[in-house]
Structure 1
Amino acid sequence: MTPLHLGVMTVFTISGITLQIWSSQPKRAGQQHALQLPAILLYSLAAALFLFSVFPDSMTEGRALGFGIGGAAGFAAFFMLASFTWLSRTRRQDELAGQVQKLLLENAALHRPVSAGRDGGGPPRVLSECTRYELPLRGSRKHRVGMVTGNLANILGTDVWVNPENTRMEMSRVDEPTVSATIRYHGGVRDSAGHLTHDTIGLELAKQMTDGTHVAAGQVLVTGPGELEETHQVRRIVHVAAVEGEPGSGFRQVMDLERCVRNVLTEVDRVSTDGPALRSVVLPLLGTGGGNSDLEATVTRLVSATVDYFHSHKSSRIRVVYLLAYTDVQAALCRDSLDREAALAGD
């Protein structure tokens, strides 16, 4: 074998190896098998050059496409035909790999808003600042849907607070980290040490349950705001049965969230006709407190249900509904869902 033959064979072999490694990278998904073809051709050319350089009297003969070929060309042609045959059988694998890669990219895009709302990953961060973001409804600028961030206890000047309650309408203990506990504590009478001395809202809600032990999923009951009227300018508390309890299993989100939203807003409008106009509503992310729900799906459904209500009740006296975002993750999901809702007029 001459140095020229050895050099050419080495170039073919190294090129084939390099191409094979390059084509095997994950980002080549969808074309990996197709890219193997030129690599195999380089290998076959290197092998043919080696064989016919070391054994110059070797012979190979065959016919392809009506032509007779022999020698090194016949040897290389054999590998080329075999490669094309192999490629035709693996095309489907490339198509499937491409579809998988596309789905992975779409999934990453859907989760990007969540990552963008978090500082370097890690657990969700509780938001201390109360900020508001709202978008008008297309074709009805008097109706808006938005979000308010932070702890419910720090939100001032909203007419209605919605309390996501269980189907037994049993409010949380005041020391629990729930919306129900926040409403119960701040709506009651407290002494100078901050201890609850009169459970104003809890007692009023319990009084409405004297005729039964539980209500249907999505049912709403309305109570006064207690001390929240003076401290937070709240006019009504709307309690909605958004979770169902099961002994030994805890609470789970009710299936028909849309019914919860529809019943809440309908009741707010009904109360407005008989009393002071209730223009603004704070709506927590119903049923997500225990973690037994899909947070992103919940946000999307709440936004959609609110928009649908405004579309079907164009004379509604409600002007704005705010989703309550307690953490940075919730805020990112709410903002993304609002921006993606076609019925809302973004910038």
Structure 2
Amino acid sequence: MPAVLLYSLASALFLYSIFPDSVSEGRAMGFGLGGAAGFAGFFMLASYAWLSRTRSHDETASALQAATKENARLRKRLDIALAAHDAPLPPARSTRYETPIKGNRRHQLGMITGNLANVLGVDVWVNPENTRMEMSRITESTISATIRYHGGTRDVAGHLVADRIALELAEQMADCTHVAAGHVLITGPGELRESHGVKRIAHIAAVEGEPASGFRQVMDLERCVRNLLGELDRLNEAGEELRSVVLPLLGTGGGNSDLGRTAEELASAAVGYFQGHPASRIRTVYLLAYTDAQVEVCRSVLTVLPELNGLARK
């Protein structure tokens, strides 16, 4: 009200200062108005008419602002609830799915669900390792630890007595402290040959670490896949028979990487490699989906990629 009154009086005074001979007469609310008061009354009525039209817009804007604040509050509660929720669980059983590449009868992609320790009959297990090629302790819940423990020699009580894969990897790293991101080193499978039918372990530098900062996923996942499959094909050319590969979602173990983006980049890179190397002796690359969340992500990626013909259970 005071703002409208001051605005009206100022407008009337401004007009009269420019046009001193101006005349205005009218009636408002039963009163006669003339001169400067008439002009002021006119501006006041016009202002109230305009304000009445914009009231609905103001109410809408106010409701939108309130809804935005409520949405932010609910999102914060959801984030807290998700952070406190149990980690995603592995599927109840290990299941294998495959999908052919369009126009390519020789190669295919697939998905294996569940714990890597339950995977049987795949020629090559991929170990997503750090650039220092230092395997995890066997008590950690990582792919590296699983491979290290099950590939080592154990006594009747299940204790590791010969750290076969880790020792072989350390021998290859004897002359250097670290490797480039995406570099691949191949070792034997240790005890996994007899227990799981594994022929080779491919250690790929998929994460980079910094002191007191942990590990982060390397930037070029396509190079990781290209180096991996290229090295396996080199061994195939040398006389080995490495036809199938199980590939974890590289660098996602710490929970700080995008699962969907990672799965899509790995699958697309494998398809691209096969398209560029139609004579590759590798037949199938399986993405390893360890948790129920990873299963849904991998299923979605392998279903929607245009180069694939649709996922089917084997």
Deviations 1:12-48 (A, max 9, x none): xxxxxxxxxxxxxxxxxxxxxxxxxxxxxxxxxxxxx
Give the corresponding residue for 1:40.
none
Correspondence for 2:200 among 230, 236, 249: 236
Correspondence for 1:173 among 137, 146, 152: 137
The answer as to 2:216 corresponding to 1:249 is: no
Give the corresponding residue for 1:7.
none
- CA distance in 2 between counterparts of 1:254 and 1:335 reads 23
- CA distance in 2 between counterparts of 1:264 and 1:86 reads 65
Cα distance change on mapping 1:168 and 1:80 into 2, 3 Å: same
The answer as to 2:120 corresponding to 1:133 is: no
Classify the secondary structure of the residue corresponding to 1:158.
coil
Q: What is the CA-CA distance between 1:238 and the residue it aligns to? A: 0.4
The answer as to 2:222 corresponding to 1:264 is: no
Paired residues for 1:284-299 under 5 Å = 284-299=248-263
The answer as to 2:172 corresponding to 1:208 is: yes
Paired residues for 1:155-174 under 5 Å = 155-174=119-138
Deviations 1:153-191 (A, max 9, x none): 010000000000000001111111000011011111000
Classify the secondary structure of the residue corresponding to 1:210.
coil
Letter in 1 for 2:253: G
> Gaps spanning 5+ residues in structure 1: where?
1-57, 60-78, 88-92, 98-120
Paired residues for 1:11-30 under 5 Å = none
Q: What is the CA-CA distance between 1:122 and the residue it aligns to? A: 6.4
1:128–1:151 Cα contact (<8 Å) kept: no
- CA distance in 2 between counterparts of 1:269 and 1:142 reads 14
- CA distance in 2 between counterparts of 1:298 and 1:85 reads 49
Tell me the TM-score normalized by structure 1: 0.66
- CA distance in 2 between counterparts of 1:143 and 1:83 reads 70
Deviations 1:311-343 (A, max 9, x none): 101111111100000100000000000001000
Paired residues for 1:80-159 under 5 Å = 123-159=87-123
Tell me the TM-score normalized by structure 2: 0.73
The answer as to 2:153 corresponding to 1:189 is: yes
Q: What is the CA-CA distance between 1:83 and the residue it aligns to? A: 9.7
Q: What is the CA-CA distance between 1:84 and the residue it aligns to? A: 9.6
- CA distance in 2 between counterparts of 1:328 and 1:274 reads 38
- CA distance in 1 between counterparts of 2:125 and 2:92 reads 19
Structure number with higher relative contact order (C-alpha < 8 Å, ≥ 6 residues apart): 2
Correspondence for 1:311 among 243, 251, 275: 275
Letter in 2 for 1:200: R
Following TM superposition, the consecutive aligned residue runs of length 4 or more in structure 1 with deviations greater than 2 angstroms are: 79-87
Give the corresponding residue for 1:25.
none
Correspondence for 2:285 among 318, 321, 324: 321
- CA distance in 1 between counterparts of 2:306 and 2:49 reads 53
> Gaps spanning 5+ residues in structure 2: where?
1-28, 31-47, 65-84
Classify the secondary structure of the residue corresponding to 1:329.
helix
Q: Percent identity?
A: 64
The answer as to 2:300 corresponding to 1:336 is: yes
- CA distance in 2 between counterparts of 1:286 and 1:169 reads 14
Q: What is the CA-CA distance between 1:196 and the residue it aligns to? A: 0.5
Letter in 2 for 1:293: S
Q: What is the CA-CA distance between 1:276 and the residue it aligns to? A: 2.4
Q: What is the CA-CA distance between 1:206 and the residue it aligns to? A: 0.4
- CA distance in 2 between counterparts of 1:320 and 1:128 reads 24
Q: What is the CA-CA distance between 1:275 and the residue it aligns to? A: 2.6
Classify the secondary structure of the residue corresponding to 1:174.
coil
Letter in 1 for 2:118: N
Correspondence for 1:277 among 241, 258, 262: 241
RMSD of Structure 2 on Structure 1 (CA): 3.2
Classify the secondary structure of the residue corresponding to 2:266.
helix
